[in-house]
Structure 1
Amino acid sequence: MTESPTLCQLWASMWSDFKANQNLAFTAFDMSGHGRYRDLWEHYYKNCHGIIFVIDSSDRLRLVVVKEELDLMLQHPDICQKKLPILFFANKMDCKEALSSVKIAAALGLDKITDKPWHISASNALSGEGLQEGVEWLTQQIREMLSVKS
């Protein structure tokens, strides 16, 4: 495969360039979730092959803001017209106050996303728990999307 998929990676991240496996490499952009940087996200949507959306599962109060930003992103013309896979990392699952993946999915209304494949992966960025599972899912989704295009 000669094409290197581009991911729009939102909220927080741990990668810039990484290999998912021998045949697929990702270029990811770490897009801060801080309010003053959110307007920059849309500049990356047009050439995006997938989205990684990292959520702090221990911060219940910010879930309202996360939902608002997710809804805005999904309504953007460069996103709503594509069947981009979206990987949600529910980060900080090691914290005792962390919400479960099921509760996060419910709070964000992920069940209403019916036109794009999505997956939520419980994760811990410090230990790496859940990251491989999520990246493997996203890799498979992007492969399927690119094979349909060719």
Structure 2
Amino acid sequence: MKQIALLFVAIAFAISAEAQEKNKEFKRSDIEFGLGMTFGADNNLYNNGGIGPYLRFEYRYNLKSIPIDLGFQTARSVLKISSDTDDNNKVDTDFIISNYHFFKKHNFDLYGGIGAGLVDFDYFGGSVRVGAKMVKHLNLTLEYMLLQQEDSHAVIALGFFF
């Protein structure tokens, strides 16, 4: 009788250890710092646009029951419209974002998302994006900022999250 009780205790211990290991993989929130490049346009004529720097900070809250995260993103884009440095356009965005994770395997995760919020504390804008989280801490994102006509731009960024 003791051996059967000991067997049940060992099985229960193994099951609880496995359940805790699975919960360890799930992170409730992520903080990300990202750097990238902007591809600006001069009134949506991409022949005059140039490449500029992009800096991003993002906080995301991951929902456990569904593959969605919600968060806040603040970013600065520098759009190089012409060769004259006075003509560069800095764009600050503060967006509320949401991502839907449609493919997740081991250390690889694909997602698509949208965002909306304030641009330069002056007017509203939005964004659409797709991305891939890789090797537990890297996030590659392709994003298009839907802002005023002269400020809309594409971004490719690599972020580090923890």
Rg larger in 1 or in 2? 2
Do they superpose with TM above 0.5? no
Query: TM-score under structure 1 normalisation?
Result: 0.31
Greater percentage in helix: 1
Query: TM-score under structure 2 normalisation?
Result: 0.29
